[in-house]
Amino acid sequence: MAKHYDTLEARDPAQREAALMAALPGQVARAQQAAPAFAEILRGVDAQAVTSRAALAQLPVTRKHELLERQQAARVRDASDPFGGFSAIGWRGLLRGSGARRVYQSPGPIYEPEGHAADYWRSARAFGAAGFEAGDLVHNCFSYHLTPGAWIMEAGAQALGCTVFPGGVGNTEQQLAAIADLQPVAYAGTPSFLKILLEKAEESGVRLSFTKALVSGEAFPPSLRDWLAGRGITGYQCYATADVGLIAYETQAREGLVLDEGVILEIVRPGTGIPVPEGEVGEVVVTVLNPDYPLIRFGTGDLSAVLPGTCPTGRTNTRIRGWMGRADQTTKVRGMFVHPGQVAEIIKRFPEVGRARLVVTGEMANDAMTLKVETLGDGPAELAERIGQVIRDVTKLRGEVELVRPDSLPNDGKVIEDARSYK
């Protein structure tokens, strides 16, 4: 097994939890004081009282579309705050703090700041778990253009003591020539581009020098992992976003992804801020202890679930199953959008109801909705009728109600299932 990056990875879980909860009030206060958007979102919140997961769960979830909307509004007003009030730092005196080292643009466009902290995105831990070592030459094939992907990986590799070749994306022939000249042992980038490089090299009868890889940005199925292994490359994946950096990383145990030490994770029911029971699929919500970009309860929009137990490598932090799809299941039914939050609003009114799943069927222009709800079935006819009325009140659409047994709905994080035929 690879050695741990530091002693934090093997600490007692209770000690880790105590440290995270002790740091949480300061992070909430930082957001309120230095990030105007959070001053508004968290207005009236006593930061010093947010010392537990239960208290954290009472705060609003902020999702990516809200970052975009606030940034767009700020740019229309006067462009004085390009980060929409979410960043605690800026540049040239535009905002507060010592200033950002870089500014990035992600699709939207959404602009993200990078502060001056070493390994700002905390990706070194993922490189260490993937077997990278000081002195390795890393061929970095994430994009250096606009988005932070390449910089997230470069900072982590350098913090580990690696040297980085900034390959970027595309220019396959040039990339292969550089690999032939420099003989890097390690690759960072998307798994699909690594596959392209390998296939292109094989066409010329060349074997690349890579023996290890850290991939991200796409699904990394076991079939591709095994395909790489057959060509002498041991690949691992990590889960990171442009907003918060590293969230979790794979280890040699190949059992889910282990959380980064600076991340407070919640898995919530899509469309809500309500944490789900351990093992149930829901949306990944994170609070990262970053004073420069203090995102509190940031909804990633990604689905995952907590795995029970700890990693066989000795890392004691929580594990997740990895990326399992997107949480935003907004669907248009008979010309009107139906949101996961509306399903949550419906079932919130019925304490006797457990999980629910809205299934949309039929052919286009002939939609039908059925809300399947888990219940013990007390007064089924009357309960179904009452739920049906609330469906009409909340969505302005008619929908059937089907009462099902507890734990009979799939555990896949879906709140809305679009089962229509588009033929």
Specify whether the CB–CB gap between 233 and 213 falls below 8 A: yes
d(CA 129, CA 5): 7
Instruction: Please state, for a pLDDT cut of 90, what percent of the chain lies above it.
Output: 71
| pLDDT value at residue 313 | 97
Does residue 323 have a pLDDT over 90?
no
Segment 246-257 shows an average pLDDT of 97
User: What global pTM score does this model have?
Assistant: 0.84
Segment 177-200 mean pLDDT: 95
User: What pLDDT digit, counting tens, does each position of 221-230 carry?
Assistant: 899 999 999 9
Can you tell me the distance from the alpha carbon of 71 to that of 90, in angstroms, rounded to the nearest whole number?
14
Band of residue 98 on the pLDDT scale cut at 50, 70, 90 = low
Distance, in Å, from the CA atom of 201 to the CA atom of 83, rounded to the nearest integer, reads 42
Q: Tell me the pLDDT of the chain averaged across its residues.
A: 91
Instruction: Give 367's pLDDT tier (boundaries 50, 70, 90).
Output: confident
Q: What band does 99 get if pLDDT is binned at 50, 70 and 90?
A: confident
Three-class SS string for 369-392?
EEEEEEECCCCHHHHHHHHHHHHH
Average pLDDT over residues 41-50: 97
pLDDT at 353 over 70: yes
User: Distance between CA atoms of 25 and 51, rounded to whole angstroms?
Assistant: 6
pLDDT at 420 > cutoff 50: yes
Give percent of the chain above pLDDT 70: 94
Span 199-207, average pLDDT: 92
The predicted pLDDT at position 422 comes to 52
CB 37 within 8 A of CB 85: yes
Phi and psi at 248, nearest 5°, equal: -155, 165
What is residue 378's predicted lDDT score, i.e. its pLDDT? 57
pLDDT of residue 304: 95
Q: What's the CA gap between 202 and 127, in Å, rounded?
A: 27
Top-ranked range on mean pLDDT: pick from 55-59, 108-112, 203-207: 55-59
> Would you say 263 and 19 are in contact if contact means Cβ atoms under 8 Å apart?
no
Residue 78 is predicted with a pLDDT of: 65
Residue 410 CB: number of other CB atoms within 10 A? Answer: 10
**Residue 170 C-alpha from the chain's centroid:** 26
Lookup: tokens for 12: 């007692």
Homologous superfamily of 331-418: ANL, C-terminal domain (3.30.300.30)
- pLDDT for 150 equals 96
Q: What is the pLDDT of residue 379?
A: 57
CA distance 167 to 176: 10
Q: Is the pLDDT assigned to residue 93 strictly greater than 80?
A: no
Q: Is the pLDDT of residue 21 over 60?
A: yes
pLDDT interval class at 364 (50, 70, 90): very low
**Segment 29-54 mean pLDDT:** 96
Read off the amino acid at residue 291.
P
Q: What six digits make up the tokens of 168? A: 């970027």
**Where are the chain's structural domains?**
331-418
The yes-or-no verdict on residue 325 having pLDDT over 90 is no
| Predicted pLDDT of residue 414 | 87
